[in-house]
Amino acid sequence: MSTNEPHKVLRHSLLEDVQAFLLGTALCALSVQMLTHLGLITGQTAGLGVLISYLGDWPFGVVFFLINLPFYALAWLRMGPVFTVKSFIAVGLVSAMTALFPSLISFEAINPLFGAAMAGAMAGLGLIVLFRHGASLGGVGVLGLFLQDRIGIQAGWVQLGFDAVLFSIAFFVMPWQMVGASLLGAVIVNIIVASNHRKDRYIAR
């Protein structure tokens, strides 16, 4: 078969989507729980949600769900209704899981650098799972995927730019050691997304 022939786009089944959504959102929610236990933040819209929850002493899940609402209009107009609905479900699952997980699991002692790195890895893998099943966690993820599809800028690099602004703000409201450890996790997230979410490597929908 000629290597120039177009690849057949494979469609995920409903069961495959369900297991992917549960796995991807669980990894992301567990990542948030580990970070908040350590008093760290992360990048993207989730990082903004964590920072706001610290400053206002509000539940992360509620903050995260609310700050994503304005981005659904962009998702609907630019990415389509299916992507928007899937992303809405994913955000809702993460919001619910971050409220539920503290009653299911707790941490006694975690080295901040190790915790930040592992949380970043879990979040990155969770996002890849969601991206490959036609969803995101809203916010900057929507913008990143849109720019990647339209003009070829990888989603990870768009998110990295947002993170640079977010962490610059964090330096004014958090101890620099905590911001530094948080930055390690955010870099790992973006490296995983930039390295693995590529249309030339994965074309299932």
pLDDT at 99: 93
pLDDT at 33: 94
pLDDT band at residue 202 under the 50/70/90 scheme: low
pLDDT at 108: 84
Distance CA 104, CA 57 (A): 21
- For 187, the enclosing helix (H) or strand (E) is helix 176-196
Distance CA 42, CA 141 (A): 14
Q: Where are the domains of the chain?
A: 14-196
**Average pLDDT along the chain:** 84
Could you tell me what percent of the chain has a pLDDT over 70? 88
Could you tell me what percent of the chain has a pLDDT over 90? 45
Q: What is the mean pLDDT of residues 135-144?
A: 78
pLDDT beyond 90 at 5: no
pLDDT at 2: 45
pLDDT beyond 80 at 149: no
Q: pLDDT tens for residues 82-131?
A: 888 998 999 999 999 999 999 998 888 899 999 999 999 999 999 999 98
Q: pLDDT tens for residues 13-48?
A: 778 878 989 999 999 999 999 999 999 998 888 899
pLDDT at 1: 45
- The string of DSSP codes covering the chain is --TTSPPPPPPPPHHHHHHHHHHHHHHHHHHHHHHHHHT---SHHHHHHHHHHHHHT--HHHHHHHHHTTHHHHIIIII-HHHHHHHHHHHHHHHHHHHHGGGT---S---HHHHHHHHHHHHHHHHHHHHTTT---STHHHHHHHHHHHH---HHHHHHHHHHHHHHHHTTTS-HHHHHHHHHHHHHHHHHHHHH--TTT----
Distance CA 35, CA 54 (A): 12
pLDDT at 200: 59
pLDDT at 49: 93
Distance CA 48, CA 34 (A): 16
